[in-house]
């Protein structure tokens, strides 16, 4: 007979508390040797207790280093036009993009961490009877995160107001245009694109609360693109101009449920809703008409975490609603992601 869920949670929390105490002692001794690496992005998440459902590469409170590898399969179903109408792709067309994402996270001090995510992108498209394939690096993401809490906030029972305190992460990320964009030398058609061609800085926040077996997460970001000079498009010279994409707003909310297994490993299931909006692009001092972007989507995720949280395996499915009014000037896609993270000292 399996032990009761409450007993398993109690055992797990006591065990993790002891682990964290030992980790804190080690971290304080190694603080002077820590090296600042560059930052995080959006692949895996780990809550303050590990295995959370937020969409960022974040170490758990007691973690020191983490390596993440994930693979995205994105299938295009159509697009929303500027009037928010859904237009399906022709039945004979097949548009797909595959991304291998390599990430590394490093704890810099007790409450600071950083990370980097580098994607490699393959485009595989059949359009109007033609097959077009291309590949190249995508845009790199660097981030820093600050944890506003000093102790793990996960609880299995609420006995006081203090037990309701959430884990709050504040961060900043820089998107570096290492991919092939329409403004560079390596994209001659739209299907060659693997990046957007502009730097962007995001201000990020993650608010997460776990009362086992439930976890609720709210994640938001506000991004500003940096203007760049342009003198070519798809390899063809154009009259020079300055381009800046619109400000970007992202918001997602998720709820998760954790199942404790007999050996204190866990499986977490989560569901999320997300909204992404980007304002009008600007050429010189003039804003481009009908250039704003919008997308609403839903996702389901399953994550297995080992008892010591060194290994986290994840599988997720993100679905954009193929109907009118759920987006604007944006592709309608389904994304399947498979990933693994490994934490170490």
Mean pLDDT of 211-233: 96
163-194 pLDDT, tens digit each? 999 999 999 999 999 999 999 998 998 889 99
Number of domains observed in the structure of the chain = 1
Domain hosting residue 196, numbered range: 5-29+40-89+106-344
Label residue 295 by pLDDT band (50, 70, 90): very high
Q: CB under 8 Å to 213, separation ≥6 — which residues?
A: 5, 9, 257, 258, 259, 260
Question: Considering the domain boundaries, does residue 60 fall inside one?
Answer: yes
With 50 as the cut, is the pLDDT of residue 36 above it?
no
Mean pLDDT of 63-87: 95
Q: Give the model's pLDDT for residue 10.
A: 56
Closest CA to 271 of 252, 257, 283, 254: 254
Question: Considering the domain boundaries, does residue 256 fall inside one?
Answer: yes
With 50 as the cut, is the pLDDT of residue 257 above it?
yes
Specify the pTM: 0.85
Q: Which of 14-28, 197-211, 222-236, 310-324 has the lowest mean pLDDT?
A: 14-28
Label residue 129 by pLDDT band (50, 70, 90): confident
Q: Give the model's pLDDT for residue 57.
A: 76
Question: Considering the domain boundaries, does residue 95 fall inside one?
Answer: no
204 in Cβ contact with 176 (< 8 Å): no
Question: Considering the domain boundaries, does residue 99 fall inside one?
Answer: no
With 90 as the cut, is the pLDDT of residue 4 above it?
no
Query: Which tops the pLDDT comparison, 239 or 62?
Result: 239
Rounded Cα distance between 217 and 255, Å, is 6
Question: Considering the domain boundaries, does residue 100 fall inside one?
Answer: no
Q: Give the model's pLDDT for residue 173.
A: 96
Q: Specify the CATH number for the domain of residue 261.
A: 2.40.160.40
Question: Considering the domain boundaries, does residue 302 fall inside one?
Answer: yes
Give backbone dihedrals phi and psi of 51, rounded to 5 degrees, phi first: 70, 25
Cα-Cα-Cα-Cα dihedral sign, residues 62, 174, 139, 334: positive
Mean pLDDT of 28-35: 25
Label residue 309 by pLDDT band (50, 70, 90): confident
DSSP-assigned states of every residue in 284-341: TTEEPTT--EEEEEEEEEEEEE-TTSSEEEEEEEEEE--STTSEESEEEEEEEEEEEE
Rounded Cα distance between 90 and 88, Å, is 6
Q: Give the model's pLDDT for residue 13.
A: 54
Compute the mean pLDDT over every residue in the chain, rounded to the nearest whole number. Answer: 85
Question: Considering the domain boundaries, does residue 62 fall inside one?
Answer: yes
Q: Give the model's pLDDT for residue 56.
A: 58
Question: Considering the domain boundaries, does residue 34 fall inside one?
Answer: no
Rounded Cα distance between 67 and 165, Å, is 29
Q: Give the model's pLDDT for residue 55.
A: 42
């Amino acid at each position: 007979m399996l032990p009761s869920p409450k007993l398993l949670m109690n055992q797990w929390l006591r065990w993790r508390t002891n682990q964290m105490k030992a980790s804190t002692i080690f971290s304080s001794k190694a603080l002077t040797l820590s090296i600042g690496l560059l930052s995080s992005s959006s692949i895996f998440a780990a809550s303050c207790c590990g295995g959370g459902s937020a969409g960022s590469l974040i170490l758990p409170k007691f973690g020191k280093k983490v390596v993440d590898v994930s693979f995205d399969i994105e299938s295009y179903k159509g697009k929303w036009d500027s009037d928010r109408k859904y237009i399906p792709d022709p039945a004979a067309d097949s548009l797909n993009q595959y991304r291998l994402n390599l990430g590394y996270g490093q704890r810099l001090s007790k409450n600071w961490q950083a990370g980097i995510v580098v994607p490699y992108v393959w485009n595989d498209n059949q359009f109007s009877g033609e097959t077009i394939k291309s590949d190249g690096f995508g845009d790199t993401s660097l981030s820093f995160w600050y944890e506003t809490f000093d102790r793990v906030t996960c609880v299995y029972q609420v006995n006081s107001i203090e037990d309701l305190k959430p884990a709050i992460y504040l961060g900043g990320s820089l998107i570096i245009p290492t991919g092939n964009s329409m403004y560079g030398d390596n994209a001659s058609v739209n299907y060659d694109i693997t990046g957007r061609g502009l730097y962007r800085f995001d201000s990020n926040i993650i608010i997460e609360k776990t009362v086992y077996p439930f976890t609720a997460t709210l994640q938001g970001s506000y991004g500003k693109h940096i203007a760049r000079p342009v003198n070519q498009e798809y390899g063809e010279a154009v009259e020079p101009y300055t381009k800046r994409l619109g400000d970007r707003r992202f918001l997602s909310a998720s709820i998760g449920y954790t199942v404790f297994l007999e050996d204190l490993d866990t499986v977490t299931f989560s569901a999320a809703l997300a909204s992404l909006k980007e304002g009008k692009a600007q050429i010189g001092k003039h804003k481009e008409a009908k250039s704003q972007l919008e997308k609403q989507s839903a996702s389901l995720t399953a994550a297995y975490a080992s008892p010591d949280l060194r290994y986290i395996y994840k599988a997720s499915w993100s679905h954009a609603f193929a109907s009118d009014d759920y987006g604007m000037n944006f592709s309608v896609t389904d994304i399947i992601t498979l990933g693994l993270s490994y934490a170490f000292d």
